[in-house]
Every structure is written in C-alpha cells, then in structure tokens.
Amino acid sequence: MNAYERARVEYAKWGIDTEAAMERLARVPVSMHCWQGDDVVGFDAREALSGGIQVSGNYLGRAHTPSELMADIEKAFSLIPGKKKLNVHASYAIIPEGETVGRDGILPRHFEPWLELAKRLGVGIDFNPTFFSHPMVKDNLTLSSPDEEVRAYWVRHGKACLKIAEYFATETGAPCVINFWIPDGYKDIPADRLSPRARFKKSLDEILDTPYDKTGVYVTLESKVFGIGLESYTVGSAEFCLSYSAQRGITPLMDNGHYHPTEVVSDKISSLLLFNEKIALHVTRAVRWDSDHVVIFDDETREIAKEIVRNGALERVFIALDYFDASINRVAAWVIGMRNMEKALLAAMLLPNERLAEYQQAGDFTHVLALTEEFKTFPFGDVFDEYCRRQGAPVGADWLREIEIYEAEVLSKR
Ligand code: RNT
Ligand code: ZN
C-alpha cells in the first residue's frame, strides 16, 4: 500500500471518503488575483498605488506588460491543483497605443486579451472596477466625493465595468463576480459622517440601476475598516456594505483583513449565509493590520474553509484571494496562497464534521475538542499529494524547482 492508500483507509475508518472529497474539491473554483503579479500597478494609469493600500518589497521580476503578467499567471496556474478563475482589475485594461480612453470609457474590447487567456486556460473571469491609483481620485474620494464631476466620473466607471463583467460572463460561460471596493475615507475625524455615505449610496444606486444580466453577473460589495492615511473614517464600512447589499439584493464581500484585529471572518460566514443566497470572500492574511501577506495554511484560513464546507456552502461562497507581497518571488506568492486555499478546503472536507456537530448538539464538548485535535495529525498531506498528482500539478515542494527555473530563465531577465 502506498501512502495515499493507507491514508484512504485511515479516513474510511471514520466514514470519511477521500475520493469523494478530491472530486468535490476539483469542482470548487478559487479566483486568483492578477494584481499580485505586478504589485497592483496595472496598465492604464501607471500611477503610484493609492487608496490606502500598500505593497512593500522589491523582489526581482515584476511583470511590467500584459504579456509578462499573463505568462506569469500561466506559470502559476500550472503549479496549482484544482479549479481556478482569473480575477482582473479594471486598471489592467489593455489600451492600444495612440488611443486615449479614461476609466469612464473602457470597453470590453480593452479586455479581449484577458478573455483569450481565460479561454486558453479554460477558466472563468472575475472583475473589479478600480477606484484608486488614478488622477480622478480627489482627496481620497471617488463615489462619495462632494465634487459632482468626480463622483459622476466614477459612476460612469462603475457602469462601464458592469458591461465588461457581462462580456466576460457571456464569453466564458462562467459567472462573473464583479467586486466594488472604494478607498474613500478620511485621515482625521470627520465633522459629517452621514453625507459621504449618502453619496456613496446614491452612486451605487445609479450604477446598479443600469440593467445587467443578473444570472451571469454577481455584484459584490466589499467593506473595510481603515486604510493607510484614512484611519479615522471609512465610507464603505461593514454596516454600510452589509445593509446596502441586503437592501439591494447584491452580494456582500468580506475580506478577512478588513475587521478589527480580534474579529474573525470565519465567525461571520454562518450569519451571512442565513440571510444571503451567495456571499463572497477575499482570503488574505493580516499580520497585525490589513497587511495583505500571502495566505498560509493557518488556523483562520482553515477555519474559514471549515465554515464553507460544514455549512454545505461550497456553491454559495465565491472564494477569491487578495494579497500583494513584493518581497518574495511573485509567482511563488500566488502558488503558495492558492495551494494553501486548496489545502484548507480539502482539510475541511476530511474532518468528521457530522460527528463533531452531533457531539456539540449533545453538549459533549470533550469529544469535540479531543477529536478536532486528533484530526490535526491525520495523514492529510498524503491525500493532498494524491490530489495534486491527479490534477497534474506538482506534488509537495516539487513546484519550487519550476519557480527557480522560471526565475533564472524569465524573471531575472526583466
Ligand atoms: C483593499 C481591498 C481590495 C483591494 C483590491 C486590489 O483593501 O482589499 O480588495 O485589495 O481591489
Ligand atoms: Zn480585498
């Protein structure tokens, strides 16, 4: 018996079907964010990153062009098991030389190369309007700006992006999740907290009043607690975004870097599942603050995965990653985070979830704790290795060798 066979038997003793788990996992899409590959720079404005988010590090090999970024994404995809999606920001529009178009005028054709890439990779695309790193962001404000010219500009951007999301959904045949996040906020204590939020609400209403294909396009709204330089007030707070999503019938998005440090998204998922048909996540790793470190196989990532699996919500939760680390090989950063998300989902499927819930129901927390701890050292890694093998992805740390070669042959020559 090989290691996987032994693991299969071990799990089977607890009524856990490793084969079914692997098959199930292979159908769960995880959306990989294009912006890890170029430090969130994009192609359209080439402005310094703004919006209260920050990338640190200067590792060699940052992608500077669409073809470089796409090559890096393809490399990363080849090293990640499971079903993937591409997550693209509007700032990654590919505008032909000589053509000038603002963010309020972007069209589906500016994203045709992204569609071609997605088709080649056989994946769907998710999309994001980009309300940052742009000269029309004035005083850190976009959709909540009191300057009507600024606000209207960004409303037009939102509408243009809905059309692009529709194009992606139609052309790929996969649903397109379009996520709205604005950086709007204030460094210091505002005198009026209501008006900016009222303007944000009005702007979103104007954008969403545009008819769009609600079967192919899922609009999500991401909340936040603070940004760098915007510490005192965030227009799109948790309460705003949850309430707006509920009232408007769109999907709330939780980024696990966007809460106070002792709050955890894993505990919020079940509540949102009770009141929303779908929910969306940005899985990230916050180290002391919203630092956007690479996702690791840590307790919170695992707990998030458990909540999705245990609540039977694999089809109701849009899972996307969101982090940006320029201090390590950027392609490796993608691979590490994506493999860890896959691992966390598989690990959650390989727990005696029903049995644990029964113990809880019966008030037997001794068994809940004891079994949870025992399962931490079950031969989970052997199943993950087998999953990688079957998915045609490198097993164990073998993928790292490929990164070394890619770094030597491609990235170091940029
Ligand atoms: C910022 C939000 C947002 C961005 C991306 C680039 O705090 O998390 O999701 O990271 O849109
Ligand atoms: Zn996010």
Phi/psi at 98 (nearest 5 deg)? 90, -20
In a domain, 96, yes or no: yes
Q: Can you tell me whether residue 32 is helix, strand or coil?
A: strand
Q: Which of 35-39, 42-46, 101-105 has the lowest mean pLDDT?
A: 42-46
| Secondary structure class of 294 (helix, strand, coil) | coil
Categorize the per-residue pLDDT at 87 as very low, low, confident or very high, splitting at 50, 70 and 90.
very high
Tokens of 253: 């998005």
Mutate which of 35, 36, 53 for ligand 1? The one with the most ligand atoms within 8 Å of its CB, which is 53
Domain membership flag for residue 260: yes
Contact indicator for 41, 95 with CB cutoff of 8 Å: no
As for how many domains the chain has, the answer is: 1
Rounded distance between C-alpha atoms, residue 5 and residue 185, angstroms = 54
d(Cα 190, Cα 9) in Å, to the nearest integer? 61
2 Cα: distance to centroid of ligand 2 (angstroms): 41
Structure-token pair, residue 383: 């199943």
Average pLDDT over residues 183-211: 98
* In-domain check, residue 375: no
Spatial separation of the C-alpha atoms in residues 167 and 112, rounded to whole Å = 10
Three-state DSSP string of 52-111: CCCCCCCCCCCCCCHHHHHHHHHHHHHCCCCCEEEEEEHHHCCCCCCCCCCHHHCCHHHH
CB 317, CB 278: distance < 8 Å: yes
- pLDDT value at residue 47: 83
The maximal CA–CA distance of the chain, rounded, in angstroms, is 70
Report which protein residue has its CA nearest ligand 1's atom 2: 181
- 222 given a catalytic annotation: yes
Structure confidence at residue 171 as a pLDDT band (50, 70, 90): very high
Three-point CA angle 100, 105, 110, nearest 5°: 70
> In a 3-state reduction of DSSP, which class is residue 324?
coil
Which residues contact ligand 1 via a Cβ below 6 A?
A: 35, 40, 53, 128, 181, 222, 224, 255, 282, 322
110 given a catalytic annotation:
no
Is residue 241 one of the residues assigned to a domain?
yes
Which of these, 29, 19, 37, 113, lies nearest to 75 by C-alpha position? Answer: 37
Q: What is the mean pLDDT of the chain?
A: 98
By alpha-carbon position, which residue is closest to atom 4 of ligand 1?
322
Measured CA to CA, the distance from residue 296 to residue 323 in angstroms comes to: 11
User: Per the residue annotation, which of 84, 201, 258, 306 is the catalytic one?
Assistant: 258
| Two structure tokens written together for 413 | 């020559």
CA of 314 to the centre of ligand 2 (A): 20
Q: What is the mean pLDDT of residues 92-115?
A: 97
The residue contributing the CA closest to ligand 1 atom 7 is 53
Structural domain contains residue 181? yes
Query: Hey, whose CA ends up nearest to atom 11 of ligand 1?
Result: 181
Q: Which ligand is nearest to the CA of 38?
A: 1
Which residue's structure tokens are 């598989």?
Answer: 346
341-398 per-position pLDDT tens digit: 999 999 999 999 999 999 999 999 999 999 999 999 999 999 999 999 999 999 999 9
Give a yes or no: residue 166 inside a domain: yes
To the nearest 10°, report the CA torsion of 252, 257, 259, 260: 180
Domain limits for position 218: 17-349
User: What confidence tier does 17 reach under pLDDT thresholds 50, 70, 90?
Assistant: very high
CATH code at position 228: 3.20.20.150
Contact yes or no for 333/325 (Cβ under 8 A): yes
Q: For this structure, is 181 an active site residue?
A: yes
Active-site residue flag, 213: no
Residue 377 domain-assigned (yes or no): no
Ligand 1 center to residue 131 CA distance, Å? 10
In a domain, 276, yes or no: yes
Residues flanking ion ligand 2, Cβ below 5 Å: 255, 282, 322
Integer CA distances (angstroms), 132 to 119, 136, 203, 315, 378, in order: 28, 9, 16, 31, 45
State yes or no: is 258 an active-site residue. yes
pLDDT at res. 91: 98
CA distance 296 to 199: 38
**What digits encode the pLDDT tens for the residues 236-273?**
999 999 999 999 999 999 999 999 999 999 999 999 99
Ligand having the closest approach to the CA of 183: 1
Catalytic residue among 171, 307, 322, 382: 322
Q: How would residue 1 be classed by pLDDT, with cut points 50, 70 and 90?
A: confident
Can you give the pLDDT at residue 46? Answer: 76
Substitution site in 221, 235, 322 for ligand 1 pocket (most atoms within 8 Å of beta carbon):
322
Confidence of residue 204 (pLDDT cuts 50, 70, 90): very high
- How distant is the alpha carbon of residue 98 from its chain centre? 33
Across 29-39, average pLDDT: 98
